[in-house]
Amino acid sequence: MSHLEVLESELRKSEIDLAAPKKLALAAYCDELHRWNKKINLTALTGAEMVRRLVVEPVWIGLQLKPTGVLADIGSGNGSPAIPLHVVSGLQTCHLIEARTKRAAFLRHVATTLKLSALLVHKARFDEVAKSLGPIDWITLQGVALESELIDSIKQVSSTTTAIVWITSLGVAAPLHPERTLHVPFTNTQVFVFHAA
């Protein structure tokens, strides 16, 4: 079964309807993720679980939050949630921030392959590039601990309208008081939305 077929099945289960070009872009992202994962460790997930967790969940989150403007994704690694969010949302620019060289190379490859010119990959830690990014409307984190040092770095570049979206497992306590909490249907994923400034 192709990634496109798996994606369409998972989208149906989540009652998400996307235009064909968006589905094709997301399936191509899955193809590249699968191919590169054979060379470098991008995810332990495979098949339908990979598509559900790394693509459909961020798509669902994007449809709920409707982000626009500029997004900075901290610890972009395998591209999720930033790439699916970018594909389905009205984001002007997505900064993918990844300190590891091979993962940054993967992200650049995906941006080029999918012709996503608004995806900008930074091979650096967030605190090293944060001030050079300009105004940020959305900050996303998934698989990254939201510790006090990182929160301080985020606060330095956040405005009163910057939304921080932390995607984590059910049962994990939020280090800040969230303004909104989402539970992704049919999964063990929760989303906390904060404003740090």
| Pairing status of strand 189-194 against strand 163-169 | antiparallel
Mean pLDDT for the chain overall: 94
Predicted confidence (pLDDT) per residue in 22-80, tens digit: 999 999 999 999 999 999 999 999 999 999 999 999 999 999 999 999 999 999 999 99
Q: Is it the case that residue 142 has pLDDT exceeding 90?
A: yes
Average the pLDDT over 1-24 and give the result: 96
- Here the tokens at position 144 are 């990254």
CB atoms under 10 Å from CB of 71, counted, come to: 26
Predicted confidence (pLDDT) per residue in 150-186, tens digit: 888 898 888 889 999 999 999 898 888 899 999 999 8
- In sequence order, which residues have a C-beta less than 8 Å from that of residue 51 and are 6 or more positions away? 3, 6, 7, 10, 30
pLDDT of residue 175: 84
pLDDT of residue 197: 63
| Pairing status of strand 119-122 against strand 138-142 | unpaired
Q: What is the pTM of this model?
A: 0.95
Strand ordering across the sheet containing 189-194: 119-122, 90-97, 68-74, 138-142, 163-169, 189-194, 180-183
- Here the tokens at position 141 are 């984190």
Q: Is it the case that residue 19 has pLDDT exceeding 90?
A: yes
